[in-house]
């Protein structure tokens, strides 16, 4: 955790198009079908123009961007020329540091070597590949638009083009998924040897097809015990394979943590552009509308106002809660010395008192200034959730912290 900065150093750009909608997804996306992409699609071309208007209407900042993240949706539905234009506009508006991390989420089956080489020439140096599962029946059951073979072709293409840094996304807790299947998925991911892996536990959102087909906890969804076993298995296998479990759902080889996502977890400011994107600039969080029509209207108003964000600043109490909620996701945990400096000694006392009960379960641990596990009797410099048990119960721990800190401030 670093002390809160004022100027954003990262930009998130949302590309809200997918070939199909996966059965578990409730993100703000538009389905364009299997044949439409990039400049072939009038809808995508129009969206890119509005996105550029939004970026150009945003007040400049004195610091160049250190991270850019194209998320989605499926950013790899954009042509290399469209990605290049967006990066050129971002660079003109804010500057992009020469060693910036520039990531793009991509789905297998939506890019070939030529497109990827074009992305790389424009500066994309990190790929986050949406794999989710390696078995065709699981992929089909999730409504994914690719099969297992597409995954291996995508990885081959990334390697061939020489993009040095890539991550795979996997999902555990899928319907009908057994512990053995999850073990095989992890084995396959480890054999591919990406620098980074994200392992998400399926969340069944009510408004999705999965929300209509399945009830959380009921078969064919794995029960809580099985999902906890899957979580522990990932932590064990991936740490044995040399990955650091640096965030609740994220693993990285040394030096390959996602710099952009760390901005969120460290509660630092960032730009957000595009439909449904959130920005955090000047202590104001702003969520853009989640439909294209409303987003286009929002951009028109934003331009007319000279890039003004009409949201109240985050209150000190909310900033503290957000700092804890996000900071405890990281294996670095929360720096109590910085909490004291930003929010006062009472906040530290309330945090330590609330966490004491979890210390007995070994769900939390205190670290001294050098980062070593501290003496239980002394006040730690930093406190974090243990891996994997503390991470597994993070929701319970955070709920207690919220309760005690909001009661405290009443």
Is 67 an interacting residue with respect to ligand SF4 (CB under 6 A)?
no
Of 29 and 186, CB closest to ligand SF4: 29
Distance between CA 276 and CA 190 in Å, rounded? Answer: 33
Angle between helices 316-327 and 394-409 (to 10 degrees): 160
Distance CA 179, CA 202 (A): 14
**x/- binding map, residues 94-133, to ligand SF4, per CB under 6 A?**
-------------x----------------------x---
**Least distance to ligand SF4, CB of residue 128, Å:** 11
360 burial type by CB count under 10 A (0-12 exposed, 13-18 middle, 19+ buried)? exposed
Measuring CA to CA, which residue among 361, 331, 334, 330 is closest to residue 347?
334
Please state the closest distance from residue 37 (CB atom) to ligand SF4, in A.
Answer: 13
Q: Which of residues 14-33 bind ligand SF4 (CB under 6 A)?
A: 18, 21-22, 25, 27, 29
Establish if 75 lies at the interface with ligand SF4 (CB under 6 A): no
Burial of 390 (0-12, 13-18, 19+ CB in 10 A): buried
Which residue, 107 or 332, has its beta carbon nearer to ligand SF4? 107
Q: Which residues of 24-38 are buried (b: 16+ CB within 10 A; e: fewer)?
A: bbbbbbbebeeeebb
Least distance to ligand SF4, CB of residue 1, Å: 29
How many helices and strands in the chain, by DSSP H and E?
Answer: 15, 16
Instruction: Compute the C-alpha angle 234/238/243, nearest 5°.
Output: 135
Verify binding: residue 277, ligand SF4, rule CB under 6 A: no
SS3 content of the chain, % helix, strand, coil (to 5): 45, 20, 35
Tell me whether residue 130 or residue 173 sits nearer to ligand SF4 (CB atom): 130
- In sign, the C-alpha dihedral spanning 389, 391, 397, 399 is negative
DSSP tag of 118: H
> Nearest CA to 337 among 371, 387, 296, 300?
371
Sign of the alpha-carbon torsion through 283, 284, 287, 292: negative
Closest separation in Å from C-beta 401 to ligand SF4: 30
Taking the complex as a whole, the smallest distance from the CB of residue 105 to ligand SF4 amounts, in Å, to 8
Judged by CB under 6 A, does residue 168 bind ligand SF4? no
**Rounded-to-integer distance, Cα 250 and Cα 239, Å:** 11
Task: Map the footprint of ligand SF4 across residues 328-367, applying CB under 6 A.
Answer: none
Rounded least distance, CB 157 to ligand SF4, Å:
18
Burial 91-116, CB ≥16 within 10 A → b, else e = bebbebeeebbbbbbbbbbbbeeebb
Q: Is 78 in the site for ligand SF4 (CB under 6 A)?
A: no
Measured from the CB of residue 129, what is the shortest distance to ligand SF4 in angstroms? 11
| Out of 8, 10, 73, 333, the residue judged to bind ligand SF4 by CB under 6 A | 73
Closest approach of ligand SF4 to the CB of residue 204, in Å = 13
What is the Cα–Cα distance from 134 to 147, expressed in whole angstroms?
Answer: 8
In this chain, which stretch among 67-75, 85-93, 232-240, 364-372 interacts with ligand SF4, using CB under 6 A?
A: 67-75
By CB under 6 A, tell whether 72 contacts ligand SF4: yes
Find the binder of ligand SF4 among 37, 41, 58, 74 (CB under 6 A).
74
Residue whose C-beta lies closest to ligand SF4: 25
Residue 382 has, within 13 A of its CA and on its CB side, a CA count of 20
CB of 21 to ligand SF4, least distance (A): 5
Asked whether position 77 contacts ligand SF4 by CB under 6 A, the answer is no
Site for ligand SF4 in 128-167 (CB under 6 A): 130
Nearest distance, CB of residue 346 and ligand SF4, angstroms: 42
Residue 276 found at the interface with ligand SF4 (CB under 6 A): no
- Quickly tell me which residue has 């969120």 as its tokens: 264
Q: How many chain residues touch ligand SF4 (CB under 6 A)?
A: 11
Q: Which residues bind ligand SF4 (CB under 6 A)?
A: 18, 21-22, 25, 27, 29, 72-74, 107, 130
């Amino acid at each position: 955790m670093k002390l809160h900065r004022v100027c954003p150093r990262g930009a998130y750009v949302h590309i809200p198009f997918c070939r199909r909608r996966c059965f578990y997804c409730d993100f703000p996306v538009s389905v364009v079908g299997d044949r439409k992409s990039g400049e072939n699609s009038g809808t995508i071309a129009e969206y890119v123009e509005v996105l550029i208007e939004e970026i150009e209407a945003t007040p400049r900042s004195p610091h160049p961007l250190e991270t850019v993240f194209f998320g989605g949706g499926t950013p790899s539905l954009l042509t290399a020329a469209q990605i290049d234009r967006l990066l050129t506009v971002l660079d003109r508006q804010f500057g992009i540091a020469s060693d910036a991390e520039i990531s793009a989420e991509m789905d297998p089956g939506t890019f070939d070597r030529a497109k990827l080489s074009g992305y790389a020439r424009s500066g994309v140096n990190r790929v986050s590949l949406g794999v989710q599962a390696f078995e065709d029946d699981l992929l089909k059951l999730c409504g994914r638009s690719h099969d297992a073979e597409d995954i291996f072709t995508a990885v081959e293409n990334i390697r061939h083009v020489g993009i040095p840094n890539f991550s795979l996304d996997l999902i555990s807790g899928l319907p009908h998924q057994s512990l053995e299947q999850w073990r095989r998925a992890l084995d396959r991911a480890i054999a591919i040897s990406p620098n980074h892996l994200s392992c998400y536990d399926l969340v069944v959102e009510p408004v999705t097809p999965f929300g209509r087909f399945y009830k959380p906890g009921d078969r064919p969804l794995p029960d809580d015990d099985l999902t906890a076993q899957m979580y522990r298995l990932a932590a064990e296998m991936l740490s044995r394979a040399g990955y650091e479990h640096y965030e609740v759902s994220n693993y990285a080889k040394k030096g390959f943590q996602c710099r952009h996502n760390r901005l969120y977890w460290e509660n630092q400011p960032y730009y957000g552009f595009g439909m449904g994107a959130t920005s955090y600039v000047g202590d104001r969080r702003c969520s853009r509308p989640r439909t294209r029509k409303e987003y286009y209207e929002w951009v028109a108003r934003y331009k007319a106002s000279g890039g003004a964000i009409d949201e109240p600043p985050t209150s000190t109490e909310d900033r503290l809660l957000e700092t804890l909620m996000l900071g405890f996701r990281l294996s670095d945990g929360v720096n109590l010395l910085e909490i004291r400096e930003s929010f006062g000694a009472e906040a530290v006392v309330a945090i330590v008192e609330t966490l004491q009960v979890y210390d007995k379960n070994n769900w939390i641990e205190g670290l001294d200034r050098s980062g070593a596990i501290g003496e239980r009797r002394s006040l730690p410099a930093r406190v974090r959730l243990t891996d994997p048990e503390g991470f597994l119960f993070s929701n319970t721990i955070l709920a207690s912290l919220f309760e005690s800190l909001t009661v405290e401030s009443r």
